[in-house]
């Protein structure tokens, strides 16, 4: 399958991936490996910005189910993404990659606030911008933040680096024999309620014509491979054709 070359990408990193083999939190070796993948993509000439999830630390919805007040729980989830963003920043800077973290919830002693034009300037200077704290609003997820930032930063595609190698016709972790799509339309993902990404993120990408590439970031070297159009992934776009 041939895929278009995407120059500027928004990489959505699942928080869960940063746990490595653990059940919770941040595994430094995994973060270092993921940082290496990002550095490799940059060295190959791609412009990248990153949105990090928080599922390895705190998910608002799960906490609300256990009795937490939903909006507070969501703010806790957003703060979890800031910790992940700082971990990724640290790992990237250790290998000499220039970065900035921008948070949707201003916290000026920790990182920059999100200012789109400033983020653009950082990218022009070759820095990797890591967007933290999701959209800054409760009742959203970092998938929606990724779609929003991809649109704001004029990205050619949203790369969702996760623990599955694409979009399946049912959750492959739950349904044996689920079949993976090479290509699928936004409308099919929405009408079949395929839960690899939340519906608001998919709709935002559809309406702004930003393809979503779902791939397994747990596999060593996969980001660059998928960027080159090799390796296993699903591309979600407005038409089924290439």
Q: Which is nearer to ligand LLZGTKA7, 53 or 161 (CB)?
A: 53
Write a three-state SS string for the chain.
CCCCCCCEEEEEECHHHHHCCCCCCCCHHHHHHHHHHHHHHHHCCCEEEEEECCCCCCCHHHHHHCCCCHHHHHHHHHHHHHHHHHHHHHHHHHCCCCEEEEECCCCCCCCEECCHHHHHHHHHCCCEEEEECCCCCCCCCHHHHHHHHHHHCCCCEEEEEECCCCCECCCCCCCCCCCECCEEEHHHHHHCCCCCCCHHHHHHHHHCCCCEEEEECCCCCHHHHHHCCCCCCEEEECCCCC
| Nearest CB to ligand ATP, comparing residues 19 and 123 | 19
- In the bound complex, what is the minimum distance in angstroms from residue 163's beta carbon to ligand ATP? 5
161 forms part of the interface with ligand LLZGTKA7 (CB under 6 A): no
Candidates 135, 162, 216, 237; binder of ligand LLZGTKA7 (CB under 6 A) is 135
Size of the site for ligand LLZGTKA7 (CB under 6 A): 23
- Tell me how far apart the alpha carbons of residues 180 and 1 are, in angstroms, rounded to a whole number: 14
Please check whether residue 152 is in contact with residue 164, taking contact to mean a CB–CB distance below 8 angstroms.
Answer: no
Site string for ligand LLZGTKA7, 70-109 (x = CB under 6 A): ---xx--xx-xx----------------------------
Q: How far is the CB of 124 from ligand LLZGTKA7 (least distance, A)?
A: 26
Residue closest to ligand ATP when measured from CB atoms = 53
Residue 138 within binding range of ligand LLZGTKA7, rule CB under 6 A: yes
Least Å distance, CB 131 to ligand LLZGTKA7, is 10
Using the minimum distance from each CB to ligand ATP, give the nearer residue, 78 or 122: 78
Choose the one of ligand ATP, ligand LLZGTKA7, none that binds residue 211, judging by a C-beta under 5 to 8 angstroms depending on kind: none
Should residue 131 be labelled a site residue for ligand LLZGTKA7 when binding is judged by CB under 6 A?
no
| Nearest-angstrom CA–CA distance, 30 and 240 | 34
Residues near ligand LLZGTKA7 (CB under 6 A): 15, 53-55, 59-61, 73-74, 77-78, 80-81, 134-135, 137-138, 140-145
């Amino acid at each position: 399958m041939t895929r278009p070359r995407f120059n500027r990408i928004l990489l959505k990193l699942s928080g869960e991936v940063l746990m490595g083999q653990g059940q919770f939190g941040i595994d430094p070796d995994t973060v270092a490996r993921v940082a290496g993948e990002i550095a490799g993509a940059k060295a190959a000439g791609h412009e990248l910005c990153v949105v990090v999830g928080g599922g390895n630390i705190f998910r608002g919805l799960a906490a609300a189910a256990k009795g937490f007040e939903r909006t507070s729980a969501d703010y806790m989830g957003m703060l979890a993404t800031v910790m992940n963003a700082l971990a990724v920043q640290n790992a990237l800077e250790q290998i000499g990659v220039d970065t900035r973290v921008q948070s949707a919830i201003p916290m000026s002693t920790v990182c920059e606030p999100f200012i789109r034009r400033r983020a653009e300037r950082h990218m022009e200077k070759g820095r990797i911008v890591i967007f933290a704290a999701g959209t800054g609003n409760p009742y959203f997820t970092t998938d929606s933040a990724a779609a929003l930032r991809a649109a704001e930063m004029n990205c050619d595609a949203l790369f969702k680096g996760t623990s599955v190698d694409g979009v399946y016709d049912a959750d492959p972790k739950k349904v044996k024999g689920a079949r993976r799509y090479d290509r699928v339309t936004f409308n099919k993902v929405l009408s079949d309620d395929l839960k690899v990404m939340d519906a608001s993120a998919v709709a935002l990408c559809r309406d702004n014509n930003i393809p979503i590439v779902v791939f397994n970031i747990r596999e060593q070297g996969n980001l660059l491979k998928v960027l080159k159009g090799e390796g296993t992934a699903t591309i979600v776009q407005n038409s089924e054709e290439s």
